Chain A
Amino acid sequence: DQQVKQNSPSLSVQEGRISILNCDYTNSMFDYFLWYKKYPAEGPTFLISISSIKDKNEDGRFTVFLNKSAKHLSLHIVPSQPGDSAVYFCAAGRLGQNFVFGPGTRLSVLP
């Protein structure tokens, strides 16, 4: 029973174009969401977060959108760069409780 789903195991995008990574969750009690990037042989690196009181949060090339009614969030990377190639994990939870991670989406940005 996956509480956090990332239905695309992989995604390929041309350099300079937009990358859109999707994430769905099932628990309506979740109120805090995070995206992480992971390179091989390294721990996950925090990218961006959003709380349930907002529907959008931007940080440079990264924007996270939250649709609470659909229990869906997405990460947009614009413009995509080859260095963005990594596995991206979505995580959801409640502050003060543990976070549940999705299975990840492997992004490949092609030069």
Chain B
Amino acid sequence: GAGVSQSPSNKVTEKGKDVELRCDPISGHTALYWYRQSLGQGLEFLIYFQGNSAPDKSGLPSDRFSAERTGGSVSTLTIQRTQQEDSAVYLCASSRGLAGGPVVFGPGTRLTVL
């Protein structure tokens, strides 16, 4: 597609449940990023994939968070045993990585943990 797409757009879940958030990056973009934005906060880096290199997981807040990128394209962010503090907008972005160019963001998934 023309842009980065994310699904679902909204997700409401109960505390303790697992959730999966999906990101479809722009075709040909080798770099994929996950960020989140909590209410009133800035963008918090979570994880970064670049080509076939090992992902940079330095931003993941706990071991309940994991992400994978299959075939160098679609990525799934998984949050296990969700907590209320996980409530945020989760943003995926992609870019041409080492080739430069802007990081293009998707519309985000709004996660609410009750």
A interface vs B, CB < 8 Å? 6, 32, 34, 36, 42-46, 49, 51, 89, 91, 95-104
B106 within 8 A of A: yes
Chain A residue at minimum C-beta to C-beta distance from B99: A95
Count of A-B contacts judged by CB separation below 8 Å: 57
B interface vs A, CB < 8 Å? 4, 31, 33, 35, 41-45, 48, 50, 56, 59, 91, 93, 97-98, 100, 102-108
Instruction: Say whether A98 contacts B59, CB under 8 Å.
Output: yes
Given contacts A44-B91, A101-B42, A102-B42, contact A96 B105 (CB under 8 A): no
Nearest CB of B to A21, in Å? 14
Instruction: Say whether A91 contacts B103, CB under 8 Å.
Output: yes
Instruction: Say whether A98 contacts B48, CB under 8 Å.
Output: yes
Q: Which of A43, A95, A100: most chain B Cβ within 10 A?
A: A43
Residues of B contacting A102 with CB < 8 Å?
A: 42
Residues of A contacting B41 with CB < 8 Å?
A: 103
Chain B residue at minimum C-beta to C-beta distance from A2: B42
Partner of B102, one of A34, A42, A43, A103: A34
Residues of A contacting B97 with CB < 8 Å?
A: 95-96
Residues of A contacting B106 with CB < 8 Å?
A: 43
Instruction: Say whether B98 contacts A96, CB under 8 Å.
Output: yes
Instruction: Say whether A43 contacts B105, CB under 8 Å.
Output: yes
Residues of B contacting A44 with CB < 8 Å?
A: 43, 91, 105
CA distance A103 to B41 in the complex (A): 6
Instruction: Say whether A43 contacts B108, CB under 8 Å.
Output: yes
Instruction: Say whether B42 contacts A97, CB under 8 Å.
Output: no
CA distance A99 to B112 in the complex (A): 26
Residues of A contacting B42 with CB < 8 Å?
A: 6, 89, 101-104
Given contacts A44-B43, A104-B42, contact A95 B107 (CB under 8 A): no
Partner of A98, one of B33, B105, B107, B108: B33
CA distance A44 to B60 in the complex (A): 20
Instruction: Say whether B100 contacts A45, CB under 8 Å.
Output: no
Q: Which of A36, A89, A95, A103: most chain B Cβ within 10 A?
A: A95
CA distance A34 to B57 in the complex (A): 22
